[in-house]
């Protein structure tokens, strides 16, 4: 599954150089992940479970700048599942010129609120994620 979320660059996203501040890209990719989760999970069921999904690593590469008024598309998909962790690939594309703006790999873990520890993925979730990864190849 590939989710595409569009964000228009606003004035409050800009830094002193009049392009998107690097910290804002973390917010943009987070918005992309939440939109992905909206499609991937049943919200009622997901929020009632014992699991939470803390981010444990983000590797981000800035490829080109985005400016006021640009329309950006955040593309989000699963790329790898481990025993307790999942990695997503997120890219931000400038819709106007199709330039790659950002590439990021985001890893998070399946964390049990009750156990207060990372836990192995439940089999049904692992199967759903693996199917999503396979369909993206």
CATH 3.40.47.10 fits 3-136, yes or no: no
Residue 94 has pLDDT above 70, yes or no: yes
Cα distances from 99 to residues 19, 54, 57, 64, 80, in angstroms, run 15, 30, 25, 7, 25
What pTM value is reported for the model? 0.89
* The pLDDT of residue 52: 85
pLDDT in tens, 51-93: 888 999 999 999 999 999 999 999 999 999 999 999 999 999 9
- Catalytic annotation, pick one of 15, 38, 45, 123: 15
pLDDT in tens, 5-51: 999 999 999 999 999 999 999 999 999 999 988 888 776 666 667 88
Q: How confident is the model at residue 126 (pLDDT cuts 50, 70, 90)?
A: confident
Let me know if 123 is a catalytic residue: no
Q: How confident is the model at residue 125 (pLDDT cuts 50, 70, 90)?
A: confident
Q: Is 32 exposed, middle or buried (0-12, 13-18, 19+ CB in 10 A)?
A: buried
d(CA 37, CA 109): 15
Judge whether 72 and 28 are in contact, CB under 8 Å: yes
51-84 exposure pattern, b = at least 16 Cβ within 10 A, e = fewer: beeeeeeeeeeeeeebeeebebbbbbbbbebeee
Residue whose entry in the numeric block shows the structure tokens 């329309």: 71
Domain borders along the chain are 3-136
């Amino acid at each position: 599954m590939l989710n595409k979320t569009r964000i228009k660059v606003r004035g409050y996203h800009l830094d002193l150089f009049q392009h998107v501040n690097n910290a804002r890209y973390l917010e943009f990719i987070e918005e992309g992940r939440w939109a992905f989760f909206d499609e991937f999970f049943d919200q009622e069921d997901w929020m009632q479970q014992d699991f939470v999904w803390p981010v444990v690593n983000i590797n981000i590469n800035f490829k080109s700048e985005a400016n006021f008024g640009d329309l950006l598309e955040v593309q989000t998909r699963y790329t790898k599942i481990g025993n307790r962790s999942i990695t997503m690939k997120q890219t931000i594309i400038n819709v106007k010129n199709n330039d790659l703006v950002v590439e990021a790999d985001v890893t998070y873990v399946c964390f049990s609120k009750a156990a207060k520890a990372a836990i192995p993925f439940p089999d049904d979730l692992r199967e759903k994620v693996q199917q999503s990864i396979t369909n993206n190849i």
